[in-house]
Every structure is written in C-alpha cells, then in structure tokens.
Amino acid sequence: MNYTIFKTGLGWVGVVGGEKGIKKIILPYPQPLMVERVIAQEFPEAKEGGCQLITVVKFLSNYFEGNNHPQEFLLDWSGYSDFLVQVWRITQSIPWGEVRSYKWIGNQLKRPHSFRAVGMALKKNPFPIIVPCHRVIRSDGSLGGFSGYRGSRLKQKLLEIEGIRFDEERKLNW
C-alpha cells in the first residue's frame, strides 16, 4: 500500500492506493502533517510514494483548479456493505456542476425514506471527488452535512469550483 500527499489551492490532499485500487482520498487540510496523521492512523502499513497514484493526483489537481476531466479509476470497494457501495455508485452518476438530493438517491435505491441512511453512507465515503458526495444536498436546497475538514464550508467551495452558486443563506436555488 502506498500514499502520496500534494498541495492544491484549497490545502494538502492525500491519496492512498493498494493492489485493488484507490483505498482513500483525504480532502484538503491546511498542513501536510494533518494528512499524514490521517493516513498513519488508518493505514499504518502504507509507504510514501508509488507511481500508480500519479494519474489520480493529476485528476485531483485538475479538479481543484476547476477543470472537469472525468476519468475512471479502480476503487477498492472491499470491506464495505452492499448498501454503501450502491449509494456511492449512484452518487458517481451525478455530473459535474449538478446536484441531487439525499432523497433522490433514496429513490434511485427504491428506498424513498432512506435519506438519513444515505447521508450516513455518504459520510463514510472514502473516495470523495471521484464519488462526488459533495454534490448531494438537502431537498430544500441547503447544503446538508459534510465530513471533510471545514465541513459544509468545504462542500460549498467544491460546488463553487463546479460553477454552482448559492444565495446569502448558503442555499441553492433549484
């Protein structure tokens, strides 16, 4: 298992990969040491480096610069429940610059009242940006939660990178 940490306009980002694909993406923190701590805590056996991560680093760097270059990556889904994987796969279908609600995902699952479970599944998403959980908001247009450092402020910033605008109450008019 390998990892790399790199700087973006929003802070330091980490990527961990293994034989089966990407294991985790760590969204921006203000200091690289903070990313290293997350990696060391969750993947103590990971070693820095590894050329297999170059493509995902390039993709993420482009993303944080506001460039949309969709790409397929091998993601390591092992160890996650079928429900989590279903939620994440549906979330992957949300295009750049668009949002969907937690309820919409529940409807796609044919479980229309599962919006809270959907939110909890997205909170556990190990592949943010590639599985764009930031594109999932509440039905009333408000952001909802976000587990990245700086929480919903980061979520809003990611959506703004994609051209989505909010009113003064941080709500999307949709």
Tell me the catalytic residues: 133
In three state form, how does the secondary structure of the chain look? CEEEEEEECCEEEEEEEECCEEEEEEEEECCHHHHHHHHHHHCCCCEECCHHHHHHHHHHHHHHCCCCCCCCCCECCCCCCHHHHHHHHHHHCCCCCCCEEHHHHHHHCCCCCCHHHHHHHHHCCCCCCCCCHHHEECCCCECCCCCCCCHHHHHHHHHHHCCCCCCCCCECCC
Number of residues assigned to the chain: 174
Q: Which residue, 144, 141, 136, 145, is CA-closest to 171?
A: 141
> How many Cα atoms occupy the beta-carbon half-sphere of 42 within 13 Å?
17
